[in-house]
Amino acid sequence: MVFMGRLVKNIILVFSIPAVLITVFTYGFMAARKDSSTFFLRDLEGDRSVLNDIVISGYLEDRYHGRYFELKNGTLESSFLYYQHQDDIAGLKKPQNLVNAVIHNDFVYYYQFEYKISPGAKTEEQPEKNMPAANNPSLRRSTVFTDSIDIHVKITKRPADFTAPDFDLASLYLDPGLRYENSSMDIEFYRYLSDVEYQSVYTDYSLNPGSFPAPLPKLAMTVLNDELYFSVVCPEEYSGHNGIYKAVKFYRWWDETEYPGIVDTITEFSLDDPVIEAAGLEAVNDNLVLLLFENSVFKARLYNTRGDLMDELAVPGITSTEGLPEYQGFINDNCLNIFLKYANEEGFSKYIVLSIMADEDNRLILKHRTEKNSTGEIYPFDIESRGDRLYIAAFTRNMEEIMKYSASWLTPGHFMIHAYETKNGITLPVYAGELVTDAADDYNRHLYTSDTSPGNLSYYRVFESVRIEQR
């Protein structure tokens, strides 16, 4: 009774001390567990000492926390990061792998194409009676079929800070003379008539991309000496002209010009004879490298900024007969490292990595070439060429694993590190390793289910800002 009396007399301590202890203990637990995640490099092939020339760094993060890692001298070091606001998230600091944009000097340049019915092309219009579009009774739609379209480029420049007001939107337009002609009138445009009491006020055409019988074009953009250069990536189905262009002046949206902006043509070429398919444009050593297929043979052409062709390198064995490959380029010093992916409908993919060096005499030299066939998916983070070695850090997904999850993009992947060595013109693998983590646990909720709704993707740990650099 005396003890109970004492307890009641000091009741505040009876409650507060355990409450504080529980909180402190939990903080202790969190401090102890913050570095307990699975994070190590597993050697799969070769000796990791071949990685001593480079440093691989990056983040494994979701929106709440991250782990910065650095692989240096064969030793993997990592540290825990607790994100307290948006600015802490590495993946948002400098977006990479933008689909249709480049970021430079606090500005984003993004492109879109405008498709116009070619002047003089055959057209056939089918009005959609009593079908108001977009639930707007004053907007009516009809379908216009044609067999020939012209493709115009529009590039928009805006501040890279997406939270800032976009008053600074500025654009430029270019009609490079690129055309797509089809043998039949399969290309569908929607013609919108906005009218009041069916008296036409304006009409607008928009392409139905689903009706387009060829791959839609893309724009290759690169920045050299603070200036934006671009070229249209298009397969052999396109005709007319293409080239390398320099964006000289962007016009703000309030400048009432039909085709605003000033574009310099650096070089221009016909796509028809020989058949040329542009695949990419990169800036290397103050020059521009245009990657293309000429009569289905892969070539790299080195141009200076005046448009003079300085060298050309043909790489045999890489063709565009099965369509243009997906392309990604990585530059280190004077080397252009190219990742090409050919995918077929059976799910097999062929991956080719090339490393092309532009030397001091402005000659293009093929340093490395390696290729791999796979049923899985490979997405390179970075590719680096150092001396006679080629290093690749890539994210991969195995087909067997993809089958277990609800969708391939909801399947956890593997962070793979590959090193190759080229001797006597032959590139051979010398190392393969995997950065093993427990991030796959985040995707368990998609195991053995058909539900593909992921919720917010920023709840899943992903690798960001992965870099390979020289030591």
- Please give the residue ranges that form the binding site for another protein (CB under 8 A): 8-12, 14-16, 18-20, 22-23, 26-27, 29-30, 33-34, 36-38, 62-65, 82, 84-88, 162-163, 404, 438, 441-442, 444-449, 451, 455-456, 458-459
- Report which of 184, 268, 180, 272 is spatially closest to residue 230, judged by C-alpha positions: 268
Cβ distance to another protein smaller for residue 321 or 450? 450
- CA dist 356 and 364 (Å) reads 6
In the complex, the smallest distance separating the C-beta of residue 159 from another protein, rounded to whole angstroms, is: 14
- CA dist 272 and 300 (Å) reads 18
3-class secondary structure, 15 = helix
Residues in CB range of 87: below 8 A, 6 or more apart:
93
Q: CB neighbours (10 Å) of residue 259?
A: 13
* CB-based burial label for 237 (10 Å; 0-12, 13-18, 19+): middle
In the complex, the smallest distance separating the C-beta of residue 170 from another protein, rounded to whole angstroms, is: 22
Decide: 56 and 465 in contact? Cβ < 8 Å: no
CA atoms within 13 A of residue 401's CA, in its CB half-sphere:
15
Decide: 187 and 213 in contact? Cβ < 8 Å: yes
Q: CB neighbours (10 Å) of residue 122?
A: 11
In the complex, the smallest distance separating the C-beta of residue 29 from another protein, rounded to whole angstroms, is: 7
In the complex, the smallest distance separating the C-beta of residue 417 from another protein, rounded to whole angstroms, is: 22
Cβ distance to another protein smaller for residue 198 or 448? 448
Ordered alpha helix ranges (H), 55-149: 90-93
In the complex, the smallest distance separating the C-beta of residue 155 from another protein, rounded to whole angstroms, is: 24
In the complex, the smallest distance separating the C-beta of residue 38 from another protein, rounded to whole angstroms, is: 6
In the complex, the smallest distance separating the C-beta of residue 6 from another protein, rounded to whole angstroms, is: 11
Cβ distance to another protein smaller for residue 85 or 306? 85
- CA dist 319 and 322 (Å) reads 8
- CA dist 422 and 169 (Å) reads 47
Cβ distance to another protein smaller for residue 19 or 309? 19
Cβ distance to another protein smaller for residue 210 or 455? 455
Cβ distance to another protein smaller for residue 106 or 256? 106
Q: Which residue has the tokens 């009005």?
A: 127
Question: Omega before 127 cis (within 30°)?
Answer: no
Cβ distance to another protein smaller for residue 28 or 274? 28
In the complex, the smallest distance separating the C-beta of residue 163 from another protein, rounded to whole angstroms, is: 7
Cβ distance to another protein smaller for residue 167 or 259? 167
In the complex, the smallest distance separating the C-beta of residue 228 from another protein, rounded to whole angstroms, is: 27
Cβ distance to another protein smaller for residue 87 or 258? 87
- CA dist 147 and 264 (Å) reads 30
Instruction: Tell me the C-alpha to C-alpha distance, in Å, between residue 47 and each of 43, 146, 368, 396, 441.
Output: 8, 60, 20, 21, 29
